[in-house]
Copies of this chain bind each other. A is one copy, B any other.
């Protein structure tokens, strides 16, 4: 089927109009790095500056902002993460939250000092695990999956034992888009008595995540990809309710104190999720996330996932039909059940040509050494855009 027909049959097609237009951009396929702004967010931010900030002034902290990291966290948990209330917060960066969660996880049980992780995980995850290992004496246990695939339950089963503190994995791999079997791997880690910490950066908002149902312990993710929070928007973190009062995070500011305005001599962590908040909540930066959560709820995550898979299948079919002969390889899983929402293509010339693509308003991203990632954001990406991108790649390679 041609792109125009697929767009005509797309039940989510009308959601494209919710996003601000991007003049001169004929195909935006990097929503897996930076999602596009919603029209509603431009308005919300303006209202926030004039209203809650400019007129409410300091009163807005008492009336709404102090609660915002957990209130918006609960919304994200309900709509996107499959998490009941009181387990999700918004704040910091993914980097800082990973540090806090890893430190908390390795401190939980002195008999468990190993962090299991994989060589294909995002650099920040690997660097932080190494940093936490250095400072705490924890050991790293490396899984080495096939770069085109990802970590399997069997690999995890072979690596975990009574010495494992935590298994740190990405739900969707940033390079290959491999979609890990989150429920199976979580269960395997738990059988060995270990915690799991899932990095949801590339899955939140586009792949169903059911943290409570899978009994996940810890999760983090960013909000600027498929949650359209804007460049460098605050991250989100999840800690299962059953663990909250047993975990200690190292960055203890007054915002995580049981009674912050008492400003007393000693730090006493709040009960529940609040103790994981460190600095003053980034109100302006978290505003757009709320709009995208609302849009995801209107569209429904199952419909989003269905379109995501269709977009991916369309890419792969087109590559097979007209780019494979030019040497382009699909570097993502072909099985849609094991693939997130981007498709990575590989070709030795991609490092040269992606800048030319950008110049003509076709915007995927490039990952060393030879990968172009086509990020498919189901609520903003049309099949016609994908077709335009594939046309442009084909022209560049001919």
Told that A92-B93, A123-B264, A130-B252 touch, could you supply 12 new A-B pairs with CB distance under 8 A? Answer: A33-B61, A37-B49, A42-B49, A49-B230, A123-B254, A127-B266, A131-B251, A231-B280, A231-B282, A231-B284, A232-B283, A262-B368
Q: Is A219 positioned at the interface, with any CB of B under 8 Å from its CB?
A: no
Type the 1/0 row for A88-130, where 1 means its CB is closer than 8 Å to any CB of B.
Answer: 0000111110110000000000000000000100111011101
Instruction: Output the least CB separation between A110 and chain B (Å).
Output: 15
Q: What is the oligomeric copy number?
A: 2
From B55, B95, B267, B285, contact of A278 by CB (8 A): B95
Contact B57 A252 (CB under 8 A): no
* A327 interface contact, C-beta 8 A: no
Q: Which residues of B contact A55 (CB under 8 A)?
A: 21-25
Listed from nearest, the 4 A-B pairs whose CB atoms lie closest are: A93-B279, A95-B253, A95-B279, A231-B283
- Interface assignment of A199: CB less than 8 Å from any CB of chain B: no
Cβ contact within 8 Å between A41 and B49: yes
Across the interface, do B33 and A263 meet the contact criterion of CB distance under 8 Å?
no
Residue of B with least CB distance to A94: B279
13 contacts between A and B (CB under 8 A): A37-B54, A45-B284, A99-B250, A99-B278, A124-B253, A131-B251, A222-B280, A232-B279, A232-B282, A232-B285, A234-B282, A261-B368, A284-B288
Residues of B within 8 A of A19 (CB): 54
Residues 27-39 of A, flagged 1 when their CB comes within 8 A of B and 0 if not, give 0101001101100
A224 within 8 A of B: yes
What is the CA–CA distance of A265 and B118 in the complex, to the nearest angstrom?
A: 11
Is A314 an interface residue, CB under 8 A from the partner?
no
User: Does chain B have a CB within 8 A of A242?
Assistant: no
List residues of chain B with CB within 8 A of the CB of A15: none
A37 & B53 in contact (Cβ 8 Å cutoff):
yes
CA distance A58 to B230 in the complex (A): 10
Residue A60 is within 8 A (CB to CB) of chain B in the complex: yes
Q: Across the interface, do A57 and B36 meet the contact criterion of CB distance under 8 Å?
A: yes
A363 at the B interface (CB under 8 A):
yes
CA distance A204 to B178 in the complex (A): 47
Q: How far is the CB of A213 from chain B (nearest CB, A)?
A: 29
Query: In the bound complex, what is the Cα–Cα distance between A260 and B251 (angstroms)?
Result: 25
Specify which chain B residues have a CB less than 8 angstroms from the CB of A251 in the assembled complex: 95-96, 99, 128, 131
Check B284–A230 contact: CB distance below 8 A.
Answer: yes
Nearest Cβ on chain B to A254's Cβ, whole angstroms: 4
Is A50 an interface residue when CB atoms closer than 8 A count as contact?
Answer: yes
Contacts of A278 in B (CB 8 A): 93, 95-96, 99
A279 and B285 CA atoms in complex are apart in Å by 14
B131 contacts A252, CB within 8 Å? yes
Return chain B residues, CB-CB under 8 Å to A41.
49
- Tell me the chain A residues, 266-302 only, with Cβ under 8 Å from chain B: 266-267, 278-285, 288
A246 contacts partner chain B, Cβ-Cβ < 8 Å: no
A267 to B140: give the CA distance in the assembly, Å. Answer: 14
Asked if residues B93 and A123 are in contact (CB atoms below 8 Å), the reply is no
Closest to A60 in B: B231
CA A280 – CA B95 in complex, angstroms? Answer: 8
Alpha-carbon distance between A285 and B289 when the two chains are bound, in angstroms: 13
